[in-house]
């Protein structure tokens, strides 16, 4: 049977939201055209009290199967709380996992933040995921890339090459899987059997490790994709709020058409 590729995307209102989502939408649409054997199911979790028309339109225009839900993290503007729970998009990703279970079709799950960059060929690779897969991520962890290392004799992952706190200890805990959110995928079977969810209690830098620890016991169990983790098909990109220059053309209500 055809496997479903679930793409879980948390999104929230910021100046770049429209262009970020549009870019992701067009990447996903291209991937679904290139790999028509795969069925992309885009799950958009909007961090807002209600679903917005702007986001709904982008989802609808994609022509993809999609779910669009509002999951509001009410502490967004609370700076003190933000420090305590530094993981953005966490409640949204967990809600995305519940949506996958509600849809109920077998397939692969990938967490695609709205502002990252993806090569459309990544999405064909993801469909090789049997349980939990791993692959390289560009511009990640303060380096050109983070990737796993594969033992050429066994074909198994024997290390994750990461420069950002690869042996980071939080209390007595180690970043066992020093990976970016964009660098792994899991099957729906793995989700159902392990019941893995993101932990709101995870400390900074431990979110991926805590989640992956629920899926596999050791790096050797991770299935390396994209030419044994040597090909970069996903990039961690972080959009920042643009610094506006004063633009007299747009004074007023901002609706003036630039001629």
Q: Write out the residues near ligand UDP by the rule CB under 6 A.
A: 10-12, 47, 73, 76, 88-89, 92, 113-115, 238
What is the C-alpha to C-alpha distance for residues 19 and 10, in angstroms, rounded to an integer?
15
Using the minimum distance from each CB to ligand UDP, give the nearer residue, 16 or 230: 16
**Count of beta carbons in the 10 Å neighbourhood of residue 221:** 14
Q: Which residue is nearest to ligand UDP (CB)?
A: 89
Q: Does residue 210 have a known ligand-binding role?
A: no
Given the complex with ligand UDP, which of 11 and 188 has the nearer CB atom? 11
Question: Under DSSP, is residue 122 helix (H, G, I), strand (E, B) or coil?
Answer: helix
Q: What is the closest distance, in whole angstroms, from the C-beta atom of residue 9 to ligand UDP in the complex?
A: 6
Minimum distance from CB of 55 to ligand UDP (Å)? 11
Closest by Cα among 99, 24, 11, 122 to 64: 24
Q: How far is the CB of 12 from ligand UDP (least distance, A)?
A: 4
Q: Tokens 């209600």 belong to which residue?
A: 50
* Cα distance between residue 19 and residue 6, in whole Å: 21
The dihedrals phi and psi of 109, each to the nearest 5 degrees, come to -115, 135
Which CB sits closer to ligand UDP, 114 or 223? 114
Active site residue 98: no
State the Cα–Cα distance between residues 14 and 47, nearest whole angstrom.
11
CA-CA distance, 222 to 134, in Å (whole number)?
6
Residue at token pair 């064909």: 124
Nearer to ligand UDP, 20 or 223 (CB): 20
Which lies closer to ligand UDP via its Cβ, residue 120 or residue 239?
239
Running DSSP on this structure, what letter comes out for residue 217?
Answer: S
- CB 66 → ligand UDP: shortest distance, Å? 15
Question: Which residue in 46, 125, 146, 208 is the catalytic one?
Answer: 208
Chain mean position to CA 64: 18
The least distance separating ligand UDP from the CB of residue 241, rounded to whole angstroms, comes to 11
Query: Which helix (DSSP H) or strand (DSSP E) does residue 191 occupy?
Result: helix 188-194
Catalytic residues: 208
Q: Extract the annotated binding site.
A: 115
Q: Extract the annotated binding site for Mn(2+).
A: 115
């Amino acid at each position: 049977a055809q496997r479903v590729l679930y793409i879980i995307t948390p999104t929230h209102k910021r100046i770049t939201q429209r262009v970020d989502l549009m870019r992701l939408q067009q990447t996903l649409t291209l991937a679904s055209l290139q790999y028509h054997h795969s069925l992309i199911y885009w799950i958009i979790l909007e961090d807002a009290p209600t679903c917005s028309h702007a986001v709904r339109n982008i989802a609808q225009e994609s022509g993809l199967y999609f779910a669009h839900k509002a999951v509001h993290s009410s502490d967004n503007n609370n700076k003190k709380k933000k420090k305590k729970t530094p993981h953005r998009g966490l409640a949204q990703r967990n809600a995305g996992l519940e949506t996958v279970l509600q849809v109920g079709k077998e397939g692969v799950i990938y967490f695609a933040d709205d502002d990252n960059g993806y090569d459309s060929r990544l999405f064909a690779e993801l469909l090789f995921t049997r349980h939990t897969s791993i692959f390289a991520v560009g511009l990640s962890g303060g380096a050109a890339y983070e990737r796993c290392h594969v033992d050429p004799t066994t074909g198994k992952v024997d290390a994750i090459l990461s420069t950002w706190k690869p042996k980071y200890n939080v209390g007595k805990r180690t970043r066992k899987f020093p990976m970016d959110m964009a660098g792994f995928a899991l099957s729906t079977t793995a989700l159902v059997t392990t019941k893995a969810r993101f932990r709101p209690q995870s400390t900074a830098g431990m979110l991926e490790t805590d989640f992956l620890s629920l899926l596999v016991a050791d790096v050797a169990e991770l299935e390396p994709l994209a030419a044994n983790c040597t090909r970069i098909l996903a990039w961690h990109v972080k959009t920042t709020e643009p610094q506006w220059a004063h633009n007299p053309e747009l004074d007023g209500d901002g609706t003036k058409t630039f001629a």
